[in-house]
């Protein structure tokens, strides 16, 4: 039963991920942490952070959540669930998009969806911040990461590695 639940939930999440996986992180968190209790809030925040340092889409987090919920088979089912429908839709739509790319409704969709995705990304920042910014030190890491990304154009991978190293070296000293 849990494998079917994993597949269905991740398939639904994937269908709502307009603008990419970042747009549905809050929904992913609500389902996997609050409703289904597949992972803890801390595990979820760590999984999202890890997803950002791996190549590919952030929804690869589904693999981790599936693994935590139902082991290796759960990881496979959740991963297939989250990627199967978008893959099928992409294959089916690829030929049609070219015909309608200049259509005003399609352009209007893009113009309206982009601000909605920005709003959803704001919710993602809030959701992750609740579990990740547990003290002043972590706020400093977040601030430095923001400055480095905006003004110094440092690679996100290097920023994540730096934050991870600081968390490993200094974080335990602050929690004891």
Q: Identify the pLDDT of residue 21.
A: 76
Do both 106 and 146 map to the same domain?
no
Residues lower than pLDDT 50 in the chain: none
Residue recorded with tokens 């968390």 = 167
Q: Identify the pLDDT of residue 176.
A: 62
Domain ranges, residue 128: 2-132
Do both 80 and 60 map to the same domain?
yes
Q: Identify the pLDDT of residue 64.
A: 92
Do both 140 and 161 map to the same domain?
yes
Q: How many domains does the chain have?
A: 2
């Amino acid at each position: 039963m849990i494998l079917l639940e994993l597949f269905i939930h991740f398939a639904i999440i994937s269908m709502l991920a307009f603008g990419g996986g970042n747009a549905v992180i809050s929904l992913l968190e609500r389902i996997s942490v609050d409703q289904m209790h597949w992972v803890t809030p801390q595990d979820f925040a760590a999984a999202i952070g890890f997803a950002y340092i791996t190549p590919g889409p952030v929804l690869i987090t589904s693999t981790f959540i599936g693994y935590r919920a139902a082991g290796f088979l759960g990881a496979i089912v959740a991963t297939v669930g989250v990627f199967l429908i978008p893959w099928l839709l992409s294959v089916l739509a690829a030929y049609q998009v070219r015909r309608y790319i200049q259509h005003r409704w399609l352009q209007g969709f893009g113009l309206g969806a982009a601000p909605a995705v920005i709003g959803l990304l704001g919710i993602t920042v809030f959701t992750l911040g609740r579990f990740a910014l547990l003290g002043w030190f972590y706020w400093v890491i977040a601030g430095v990461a923001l400055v480095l990304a905006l003004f110094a154009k440092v690679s996100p991978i290097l920023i994540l590695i730096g934050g991870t190293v600081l968390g490993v070296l200094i974080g335990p000293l602050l929690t004891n």
